[in-house]
Structures are given as C-alpha cells and as structure tokens.
Chain A
Amino acid sequence: MESATGTICLPDLGDVGEVVVVEWLKELGDSVTEGEDLVEVETEKTAFVVSAPTNGRLRAIAARPGERLRVGEVLGEIE
C-alpha cells in the first residue's frame, strides 16, 4: 500500500459499531484540501462527515453508499 497519509480511514468515533456510507461529497478525480468535507456516514444514532486527511486528489473510493464499515477501516485514497 502506498502513502499511508493519503488513506481515508473512518476516524475513531467512540463506541459506534458499524457505520453506513450515506453519500460521497466529492467525486473521483476531484482535488481536495485537508479538512474538506469528503463523505457522510451514519451511525445508529448520528450522521458524521469525514474530512480529508491531506491535500490532493481523490484517487479511490473503497466504500460506496450503503456499504458498512467500522472505525479504522478504509473509505478511500487521496494522492
């Protein structure tokens, strides 16, 4: 796996179990800046927007709307 800093992981949200991806707010190939809204996920009780960890371009989307994942798992890649 390449640059770990470009990996978009689901951050630690506390004890939330599985989250489901609701909507990507950027498209593949879009340039993103650090801290920018990237993808919205929903836990059992809340909605949470994951921010871009670095500047770059959205290179890969690993989890699509409707898919479920856990804290620490990979949502996508920025290069």
Chain B
Amino acid sequence: MLNLQRMLRDRRSAGSIGDLVITVEHDPVFTIGRRGSRSNLLVTREALEQEGLRIFEIERGGDITYHGPGQLVVYPVIDLRDYGRDLHGYVERLEEAAIQTLATFGIGGRRMPGFPGVWVDRRKIASVGVHVRRWITLHGLALNVNVDPRYFAMIRPCGLSVEATSISGIVGEPVGLDAVAERFLTQAEFVFGWRLVPVDRDEMERGCDDGEA
C-alpha cells in the first residue's frame, strides 16, 4: 500500500494523473512517524512478533499509531497548489469530513487544539498523519469504526496517554466499514468541493511493480 501511494504520488507530481482518494482497511500494523519514539510502543518486539504484528517507520507527521481491521483509512493524493498551498487547511478539511461523518451517526466529534485528529469527549476516534512533498499529499486520516481496542492498549497513540474509541463503541452496535466509507466520501466531497468517481484498482496499480508494502 505504501508503494502504491508513493507511485501514485510520483505520477500525480508528474501530472500524469489527477487528484485521487484511496480508502483502505489495513491488516494489523503499527506505524511510527519520523520524530516518533519507540518508547510509545508499550509491548516488546517479541510480543509483537508472537501476534504477527509489524511496525513500520514511515515518512509522515505524528508519532506512533495503529492501523487494522475495522478502521477506515483515507489517503488523498492531491496537489495542494490547487488548494491554496495551505497545509493546515488541508488537515482541517480532512478532520471536518470526519467530524461531519460522525455527526451523521449522532456523534459529536471535535478537534483538540495543538493536536491533529478528532476526539469524542476525551477519547480519540480519528488520527491524522500527513506528509507533503512537492505539494502532493501522502498518508491521511484513519477513522475508528469497529477497532479491537486491545491493539490500542499496546501503544501510547501519538505519545499521549489517550484512550481510543470507535463509532460502534459509542453507538453500541457493530457498524459496517463500507457504510462509513460512503458517508465519509460524501462529506469529503462537500468539504473539498470534489466530485468523486470510482476508479478500478488494477488500473491504478499498473506501473507499481511489487504490489503491497
């Protein structure tokens, strides 16, 4: 997925493709940003290996986070020169799309000054990690729909002592990821002024030699 993103980012930079958005549900994985600290991983490497979990260091803002089943991950690959070269404006719009999506479930999400992401009361429901190179965006936002809370207990997300929560945890019953994805993309269309058209994944991957990262 990382290779696919980078390949798309390079093609976007070269102008051979237009803006696009990828939505993904990952296998369980921990990722840590460049300035993140391994001390925010609260279990040993051995424990990780036993569970078959991997940790990747990647180029994005933010500290350590978990991605896995039940979490909607959204990766826009867009040229911020068409969006006023406004880095934080981009992050805020991503957060806004998440907040509006939560509102459609009757959930009040909000930002926390000084930190990217979306919170419900004092629990974190969406994390944001964005990397911009030649004004093209990489990585994006992850929204917890039905995430196994066990995994979040293994990290101090973004270096904070913060509990995580999911949409289904708050609503009190399982919620389908696809339904949330659809709502999120609708909200993103409003917030960004997009009109999204589905694209075939195989078409996108043509040119990416080694598939999954």
A residues contacting B by CB (< 8 A) are 11-16, 22-23, 35, 37, 40, 42-49, 51
Contacts and interface: CB of A to CB of B under 8 A. Distances in A.
Contacts of A45: 61, 87-88, 91, 116, 128, 130
Nearest to A66: B35
Contacts of A48: 87, 131-133
Contacts of B130: 45-47
B79 to A, nearest CB: 14
Contacts, number: 67
Contacts of A46: 61, 87-88, 90-91, 116, 130-132
A13 B132 CA distance: 10
Contacts of A13: 85-88
Contact of A47 (B59, B84, B90): B59
The winner among B61, B128, B133 for most chain A CB atoms within 10 A is: B61
12 contacts: A13-B87, A13-B88, A15-B86, A45-B116, A45-B128, A46-B88, A46-B116, A46-B130, A46-B131, A47-B131, A47-B132, A51-B134
A47 B85 contact: no
B60 interface: yes
B114 interface: yes
Interface residues of B, number: 23
A44 B116 contact: yes
A11 to B, nearest CB: 8
B35 A15 contact: no
B148 to A, nearest CB: 27
Given A12-B85, A14-B84, A14-B89, A40 B132 contact: no
Given A46-B131, A48-B132, A40 B34 contact: yes
A51 B61 CA distance: 18
Nearest to A11: B85
A37 B13 CA distance: 13
A35 B134 CA distance: 8
Given A42-B35, A45-B128, A15 B88 contact: yes
